[in-house]
Amino acid sequence: MNSSSDDAGNPSPEALKQVLDSLSEYSISIGRIKFHKTAKLAGEGGFGKVRLAHLRSGSMMQFFEKPITVAVKELHPAGTEMPLRTAYRLAREMKVWAACKHENVLEFWGFHLSKDFQTAYLLSPYMKNGNVKDYLVREAPPLEHRLELVLDTIRGLEYLHSRDPPVVHGDLKVVRRDCSSHQTATRLNVVLNDNGKALLCDFGLARAQQAAPTGLSTGKGFKGTFRYSSPEALDFSQMECPSDIWSWACLAQEMMTDKCPYPNLRNEAIIITKICGEEGRKTKEDRRITKDFTPPALSETGVASPRLLELLEKCWNFLPEDRPTSTMCLTEMQSIYCATTGKLIPEPTSESTTTLSTTPPLRNSALRNAEAGTSSLSMQTPSTQSSSGRGQFPRIPGAKALVKRYVGPGKAPSKRNPKPSQ
């Protein structure tokens, strides 16, 4: 399915009203939110920043009660965007986010939208353990805990993909600072709760995979992060669940090795070329030839488990339909955890709303695979290829065309080796 039907760029005032009315119980008055002058900036991206604030209860006794600390995502206009468009982005994000209830997805607590649309806030619990990337740098956890965190992220993603309709996150990554030369915004797309569990967050680019337009989209265009993006994601009309799988593998690689995808590359044009290949692919058959295509990580990246590396490389298959599903990745990650640590899979800390990621049969299957030393990915990945021989995803433009689109003319990759990022 081509996602352009869900991203038509023709927002509907009626759709905005319906979302605001349906989530009215989450509406929070501005008087209950108190920012400190020295409020810590917890994160910042292309369309907003996250600050810490105190939230009062709203009861008659609120001034006698201790307020709770919350994270407030403040959406701001992009470029010359009108405030009304910011309201559409807020509605689109919270429409998806508020419906997600899972132990590995950050909880949605509420929103504030002023009548003139000048102020748009999304509220969630404050995670004192912070961003997963910061935690990895600060604590340097052992292999076992890293595997647990990777398990948490695929559990959360499998939950999103198992919803009806499936939810595509669209911006999976765990970075503190993008390696690109001019993109230095803080990202907080995976955080840790008080129990040390990883939670997926930031649903600004997420959407439900459905055929009908939502009436909330504000325009087409690539809004993700280049080095974590799949080839089809760079051709922005093709964001689907397999694109999340590619990005999740990049995220898992970084969580295991402390290395972002293509860690020695800073030039965006070179990154795009690496992802899509020097000449691109004109047909589905041509795209199977990957001699000039470089996945984000190879054996020298330091991934400890050969089976984990094998899983990641399957997730980086150039053809989206040949990548494993999130359920297959979860099953294999559970098996890898058991085989690597010799321990049972950690039980969820709370009751999950999905039956796919926490049922005993799935865990038992992982244990059986670990004991037998077999891979759950030995089965053939389901293909979405139609009977006509054409894949679900349209052709990918050549890398040179993508470089020109995103980086601009005259920015062709230099043949000189770039300096490694710090």
In this predicted model, which residue has the larger pLDDT, 348 or 117? 117
Say yes or no to pLDDT of 362 above 50.
no
Whether the predicted pLDDT of 67 surpasses 50: yes
Question: For position 214, what pLDDT does the model report?
Answer: 57
Instruction: Give the torsion through C-alpha atoms of 252, 255, 258, 263, to 10 deg.
Output: 30
Q: Between 10 and 120, whose confidence is greater?
A: 120
Average pLDDT over residues 122-140: 90
Burial 42-66 (b: 16+ CB within 10 A, else e): bbbbbbbbbbbbbbbeeeeeeeeee
What superfamily in CATH does domain 3-125 come from? Phosphorylase Kinase; domain 1 (3.30.200.20)
Longest CA pairwise span in the chain (Å): 69
Percent of the chain with pLDDT over 90: 29
The answer on pLDDT for 163 being more than 70 is yes
- CB distance 39 to 55 below 8 Å: no
Per-residue confidence (pLDDT) for residue 265, from 0 to 100: 81
- Whether residue 178 is predicted with pLDDT greater than 80 in this model: the reply is no
Tell me the pLDDT band of 418, cut-offs 50, 70 and 90: low
Contact assessment for residue 375 and residue 369, using Cβ atoms and an 8 Å cutoff: yes
Of the candidates 305, 232, 302, 207, which has an alpha carbon nearest to the alpha carbon of residue 8?
Answer: 207
Instruction: Give the mean pLDDT of 14-33.
Output: 91
pTM for this model (two decimals): 0.78
55-64, 198-207, 224-233, 293-302: least confidently modelled range: 293-302
State the pLDDT at residue 44. Answer: 58
User: Is the pLDDT reported for residue 314 higher than 50?
Assistant: yes
Is residue 282 very low, low, confident or very high in pLDDT (cuts 50, 70, 90)? very low
HSE-up (13 A, CA, CB side) for residue 228: 28
Res. 72 pLDDT band, cuts 50 70 90? very high
pLDDT in tens, 105-124: 999 999 999 998 889 999 99
Residue 337 has pLDDT above 90, yes or no: yes
Instruction: Region of 299 please: left (phi>0), alpha (psi -120 to 50) or beta.
Output: alpha
What pLDDT score was predicted for residue 153? 96
Judged against a pLDDT cut of 60, whether residue 219 lies above it is answered with: no
Give the separation between CA 76 and CA 104, rounded to whole angstroms. 27
* pLDDT for residue 6 is more than 80: no
Residue scoring higher pLDDT (246 or 403): 246
Lowest mean pLDDT among 72-86, 190-204, 251-265: 72-86
Mean pLDDT, the chain, as a whole number?
74
Q: Considering the chain, what percentage of its residues have pLDDT values greater than 70?
A: 60
> What integer is the mean pLDDT of 54-62?
75
Residue 233: band (very low, low, confident or very high) from pLDDT cuts 50, 70, 90 = confident
Q: Are strands 190-192 and 167-168 parallel, antiparallel or unpaired?
A: unpaired
The pLDDT tens digits for 74-83 are 987 766 667 8
Residues in the chain, overall count: 422
Instruction: Tell whether the model's pLDDT for residue 33 goes beyond 80.
Output: yes
Residue (of 111, 107, 110) closest to 125 by Cα position: 107
Selection from 77-91, 176-190, 192-206 with the highest mean pLDDT: 192-206
Domain ranges of the chain: 3-125, 132-406
Q: Which of 381, 417, 71, 85 is nearest to 270 (CA)?
A: 417
Weakest mean pLDDT among 28-42, 104-118, 360-374? 360-374
pLDDT of residue 161: 95
| Higher-scoring residue by pLDDT: 247, 394 | 247
Rounded Cα distance, 222 and 406, in Å:
9
pLDDT at 263 (0 to 100): 81
- Write the class of the CATH domain 132-406: mainly alpha
